[in-house]
Amino acid sequence: MLDKTTGIAKAACYVRQTLRLMVGVPPYSTYVTHMKNTHPDQPVMSYQEFFRERQEARYGGNGKVTRCC
């Protein structure tokens, strides 16, 4: 029973992650873990800063084409 609910929770988590990545936002927790592990000396962006940075990267330009016809 427990297995089943954790299975569903895991699947829901993946669905959520997929939908967020579709609009260009990777998991914030992965970013934080990455910064703590590899760059402990550097400041970590807050979620709000992270979100804005990602928006800017997806739509901000430099000629990147992020979608098709």
Tell me the closest approach of the beta carbon of residue 8 to another protein, in angstroms: 16
Element (H, E) at 34: helix 28-38
CB 35 within 8 A of CB 42: yes
| 43 touches another protein by CB under 8 A | no
| 55 touches another protein by CB under 8 A | yes
- Residue 64's alpha-carbon distances to 34, 49, 69, in angstroms, are 25, 21, 14
Tell me the closest approach of the beta carbon of residue 52 to another protein, in angstroms: 7
* Footprint on this chain of another protein (rule: CB under 8 A): 14, 16-27, 30-35, 38, 47-48, 50-69
